[in-house]
Structure 1
Amino acid sequence: MTESEPGRTLAERLRALVGTLPPAEQKVARTLLAGYPTVALEPVAALARRATVSAPTVLRLAQRLGFAGYADLQTALKIELQDRLTSPLTQYDTSFDEAPGPRSRDMFSRGIRETFSQLPDGELERAAALLADGRRPAWTIGGYFSTLLARYLVMHLRQLRPRATYVSGGVHEHAEYLIDIGRSDTVVVFDYRRYQSDTVRFAEQAAARGAKVVLFTDPWLSPAAAVADVVLPATVTTPSPFDALTPAMALVEALVAAIVDEMGEVPRERVSEFDQLLTADREVREH
Structure 2
Amino acid sequence: MYDKSPIVLITDDSQTLRKILRKALLEVCPGATVFEAGDGKEALRALREHEVDIVFLDVNMPEMSGLDVLELLRSKGSNVFVTLMSTEADQAVMKAGSELGSYDFLKKPFTTEQIATILSSHESLSTRKNVLIVDDSPTIRRIIYKVLSNCRFDMLVSEVEGGLEALELMHGTRPDIVFLDYNMPGLDGIQAAQRLRAENPGIKMVMISSQDLSEHIDACRRSGIFALLKKPFFANEVDFVLHRLYGLNMPQSLEQTPNVTLLND
Structure 2-normalised TM-score? 0.34
Higher strand share: 2
Structure 1-normalised TM-score? 0.31
Higher helix share: 1
Higher relative contact order (CA 8 A, sep 6+): 1
